[in-house]
Structure 1
């Protein structure tokens, strides 16, 4: 039977393990601690994404970034507030195990549950070839973010599992971008590319506004996705992290 001393030691070890689980690697932060005014809609912690379920490694709907990236994003949000606009992030740091989960899903060409919304014109067998899915992601280095801009008075439209899927490149798509950017988030479509043909002038202006804002604060765009930006002077350019996204400590 355990003694009082043994039970105390076990409790201390459990507390230490919990604390370690909640501790981020050095120079990483929860965005909410740095820039609480930035809204978070962490798609891979839920069902509304191109896979249709929570992704491995997303144990909480929290944005985690390297400190320099979080601070640069905070400064961009402060500038944007002058126009009564706010940033909303969809994804930030992404564990390597989540990237592997995406790759495994992509190889299952019969799983087409979310195709009607996220890749209606793309043969799933070509997702690797077309660059929509990769074996490694810059998100795992901690300084890449997927985001949009919306009016400060707007509110996200709740998405219910099982509701009709709407083509992400059509005007009547799911309204996840209160400002028009030409497509929805994670739209595997040519219209999501910077400089794509067929984008209406308002969407082009909004893409330019986002690009110019983030450029002023040190972020570079990814050509194939209007929502994807990486801090140019990222602190971990050669390191792909794999710690889980856990709940932010109280």
Structure 2
């Protein structure tokens, strides 16, 4: 079973995380008119930065970096900020409060995803010669099968603003090293001690692992790994989140505010400004 931290440790962790989050949410200096015009389309008023709803939730926005299945920063990810519809962010705040009492924190990998980022994924998937990240993210899947097997699609629920990819981190969170482009890769389903270091609990695979082992209830996942997946799924379910069975990290808050709209504003705090 998973070890539970006491309330005092959780309060200390909450205080430290809140201080860090407050520093990261300092108001930005207003951009001149030309810069604002170049920033692209704006988010509707129903979208917020997750840190404004809960500054204690950890962020590891992978698509602003080269540590993802493409191997480079993804189009539309201008800043490592998590943007979501307000009800989704508020529901995550409630889930976070539940986990903090047990000595854990949520950590988000991806939140709102612009359509231009999805288009980037599609272009990459169609280029069968680019397999630079295969060894880590899809070692057992032929790249020509990514569309047919459902790993890549032309539309994503993330673009509607109520879907989030996330995990659980034991507190106090450990500092992990950054990914170095070109470093040797290890399969995402390898034992946790061998995979790229992540401060999360062991979920049996890494994030964005294109493998059936990533299916939330895959019977090969047992012991502490299965317990960790259940903790994430059951905690989020209490607050209206529905898990995608093929990805232990993928959850959508229901009902969605924009069930039929796929947005394309950039992932940036400027997208949330109204001027």
State whether TM-score is above 0.5.
yes
Q: Does the CA contact (< 8 Å) of 1:22 and 1:247 recur in 2?
A: no
Residues 59-86 of structure 1: CA deviation (Å, up to 9, x unaligned): 1111000000000001100111001100
Are positions 1:194 and 2:213 aligned together?
no
Q: Does the CA contact (< 8 Å) of 1:61 and 1:247 recur in 2?
A: no
State the number of aligned residues.
239
Structure 1 alignment gaps of length 5 or more: 1-10
Q: Does the CA contact (< 8 Å) of 1:157 and 1:175 recur in 2?
A: yes
Structure 1 residue 21, shift from structure 2 partner? 5.5
Distance in 1, matches of 2:147 and 2:41, equals: 34
In structure 2, what is the equivalent of residue 4 of structure 1? Answer: none
Structure 1 residue 23, shift from structure 2 partner? 5.2
Higher relative contact order (CA 8 A, sep 6+): 2
Residues 21-65 of structure 1: CA deviation (Å, up to 9, x unaligned): 595321000111111100100000111000000000001111000
Match of 1:173 among 182, 195, 204: 195
Matches for 1:138-153 after TM superposition, within 5 Å: 138-153=157-172
Matches for 1:9-158 after TM superposition, within 5 Å: 13-14=33-34, 17=37, 24-158=43-177
Distance in 2, matches of 1:16 and 1:59, equals: 14
Distance in 1, matches of 2:154 and 2:64, equals: 20
In structure 2, what is the equivalent of residue 243 of structure 1? Answer: 265
Structure 1 residue 12, shift from structure 2 partner? 7.4
Structure 1 residue 201, shift from structure 2 partner? 1.2
Distance in 1, matches of 2:219 and 2:109, equals: 25
Matched residue SS, 2:107: strand
Matches for 1:193-232 after TM superposition, within 5 Å: 193-232=215-254
Residues 224-247 of structure 1: CA deviation (Å, up to 9, x unaligned): 000000001111011110001124
Structure 1 residue 200, shift from structure 2 partner? 2.8
Distance in 2, matches of 1:23 and 1:234, equals: 19
TM-score by length of 1: 0.90
Give runs of ≥4 in structure 1 deviating > 4 Å.
Answer: 20-23
In structure 2, what is the equivalent of residue 163 of structure 1? Answer: 183
Q: Does the CA contact (< 8 Å) of 1:66 and 1:142 recur in 2?
A: yes
Could you tell which deviates more after superposition, 160-169 or 124-133? Answer: 160-169
Q: 1:85 to 1:105 in 2, by over 3 A?
A: same
RMSD between superposed Cα atoms in Å: 2.0
Structure 1 residue 161, shift from structure 2 partner? 1.9
Matched residue SS, 1:90: strand
Q: 1:71 to 1:162 in 2, by over 3 A?
A: same
Distance in 1, matches of 2:210 and 2:199, equals: 16
Residues 110-160 of structure 1: CA deviation (Å, up to 9, x unaligned): 100000000000000000000000010000000000000011212242222
Q: Does the CA contact (< 8 Å) of 1:30 and 1:65 recur in 2?
A: yes
